[in-house]
Structure 1
């Protein structure tokens, strides 16, 4: 395998993992948002369980893989990772991940609160809605940071 072929495979894996990261992130957030607003505690408990599983299987693995493959590609292409669009991508990615880490903890808490309420036949408790508000407040900047990173990776504007 030539070095160029290895770079192509690296690029393909980087793009694939970014698609998994954004697709899973947006998809799980959408389902948890919609099911929460629906307020059926039994459905929230079930969907919450699957959201947590999906985030650990897909989002967590791609959150780790993305910077590794990105740094490898910048090294291969001899692009300084602290400058221009790459530097901004790194900063925005760090912001998104800094928002995402507590979101995962909140999702686990929301899942547990919904599961407990469903088992007792009660509605979602106020603690669920407090966690939900923090979840939304952290999810919005994470989403826009990831969108900005996508833009920077595709357009590569001179900065």
Structure 2
């Protein structure tokens, strides 16, 4: 594969990973804060789908395309900015994996409450708090990875 095509795909997939993840998370957070059970159920369902369709595929593609680019450039993974980006990426994904599980639970809780015409249960609020607690470090880590990819310090 041509280097420029691979680099373009790598950048586009990182933008999709970041954009789809942050955008859908923001949408779910706002719906959750509204307390409107039916809205939360719909948005949670959509966010789970978005994570599986977009985020999960790019989470797999990013390391593969990054490894390919390192091979083409003959750049060792021990290069400080690359090593730091890998560590931050692993941290972000380690936070994201439980977020996916929480989102599926949040979806089930919201759908059950909506079907019963009830407000969101306390378990939903607990899941939301854990989801935010894991989502914030994942977001910060992805921002830092972007910075490292662009700045290539040191």
Determine the structure 1 residue equivalent to 2:32. 36
Q: Give TM-score scaled by structure 1 length.
A: 0.95
* Residues matched between the structures, number: 154
| Aligned mate of 2:69, from 53, 69, 73 | 73
Alignment of 1:41-80 (within 5 A): 41-80=37-76
Structure 2: where are the runs of 5+ without partners?
none
Structure 1: where are the runs of 5+ without partners?
none
Q: Distance in 2 between matches of 1:8 and 1:103?
A: 33
Q: Which runs of 4+ in 1 moved over 2 A?
A: none
Check if 1:132 corresponds to 2:132. no
Q: Give TM-score scaled by structure 2 length.
A: 0.99
Q: Distance in 1 between matches of 2:78 and 2:140?
A: 21
CA deviations over 1:1-44 (Å, ceiling 9, x no partner): xx7xx011100000000010000011011000000000000000
Q: Distance in 1 between matches of 2:79 and 2:126?
A: 39
Determine the structure 2 residue equivalent to 1:10. 6
Secondary structure (helix, strand or coil) at the match of 1:123 reads coil
Determine the structure 2 residue equivalent to 1:157. 153
Determine the structure 2 residue equivalent to 1:144. 140
Secondary structure (helix, strand or coil) at the match of 2:76 reads coil
